[in-house]
Chain A
Amino acid sequence: NAGVTQTPKFQVLKTGQSMTLQCAQDMNHEYMSWYRQDPGMGLRLIHYSVGAGITDQGEVPNGYNVSRSTTEDFPLRLLSAAPSQTSVYFCASRGMSNTGELFFGEGSRLTVL
């Protein structure tokens, strides 16, 4: 089983460029979310979705957009990349009716120069 798949694994951007981090899950999970992980900061929630067509902001949403047109996909868009967005990004999903265990992708390491 593929689980949660993130692409790309590595990306280097210049300040001001835009890009989309892709996330797909094949577990028919209703809930999906994006976190960023920075040294000494743990994981911080960026955006989340509880189903197709429904998205909401997390703790650190500024500079990021999301959409949820299908159950499977939850892309994260950086509109105008800034060096402060250099981080490792994780997508995670779970079903709405389970105990709340999150399933994580392997991460996307983004560097903004």
Chain B
Amino acid sequence: SQQGEEDPQALSIQEGENATMNCSYKTSINNLQWYRQNSGRGLVHLILIRSNEREKHSGRLRVTLDTSKKSSSLLITASRAADTASYFCATDRGGANNLFFGTGTRLTVIP
């Protein structure tokens, strides 16, 4: 079964708007990561947040983590057409080796 569920499954916004995607997971974690996938390509790492962190920023990305609710959100500010992609959260289920991915949010940014 999938570790994470992203919400919404699909999101369409105008260029310049902010995009927020949510991820819920089921088990305890050491860290949570967000990845981006352009159509027909491999996944690319965006940002990692540790279980003892509540918020992290990287450029136009802001990630929050609420371990009590087992949820995370990814905010992309001032979106661009080039941000059009699928976004996945992934967790380690508290273990050291593997990452387990959610089902993804497909983001479309309209120019």
B98 touches A42 (CB 8 A): no
A33 touches B98 (CB 8 A): yes
> A92 vs B101: C-alpha distance in the bound complex, in angstroms?
13
Given A41-B103, A42-B103, A90-B42, also A48-B98 (CB < 8 A): yes
> In angstroms, how far is the closest chain A Cβ from the Cβ of B86?
10
> A101 vs B31: C-alpha distance in the bound complex, in angstroms?
11
Which of A41, A44, A101, A107 is in CB contact (< 8 Å) with B33?
Answer: A101
- For window 58-109 of B, CB contacts with A under 8 Å fall at 88, 90, 92, 97-104
Hey, which chain A residues are within 8 Å of B103, CB to CB? 40-42
Tell me the interface secondary structure of chain A in the complex.
strand
A31 proximal to B (CB < 8 A)? yes
How large, as a class, is the contact surface on chain B?
20 to 34
Interface contacts (Cβ under 8 Å), in number, total 56
Which of A41, A45, A102 is in CB contact (< 8 Å) with B43?
Answer: A102
> A37 vs B100: C-alpha distance in the bound complex, in angstroms?
12
A50 touches B97 (CB 8 A): yes
A58 proximal to B (CB < 8 A)? yes
B48 touches A100 (CB 8 A): yes
Most buried by B among A41, A44, A100, A104: A100
Given A43-B88, A99-B48, also A48-B97 (CB < 8 A): yes
The 3 closest A-B pairs by CB, nearest first: A104-B42, A43-B101, A42-B103
For this complex, 17 residue pairs linking A to B, each with C-beta atoms less than 8 Å apart, are A4-B42, A41-B103, A42-B4, A42-B88, A42-B101, A42-B104, A43-B88, A43-B101, A45-B99, A59-B100, A100-B33, A101-B45, A102-B35, A106-B41, A106-B42, A107-B40, A107-B41
Report which B residues bind A (CB closer than 8 A). 2, 4, 31, 33, 35, 40-45, 48, 88, 90, 92, 97-104
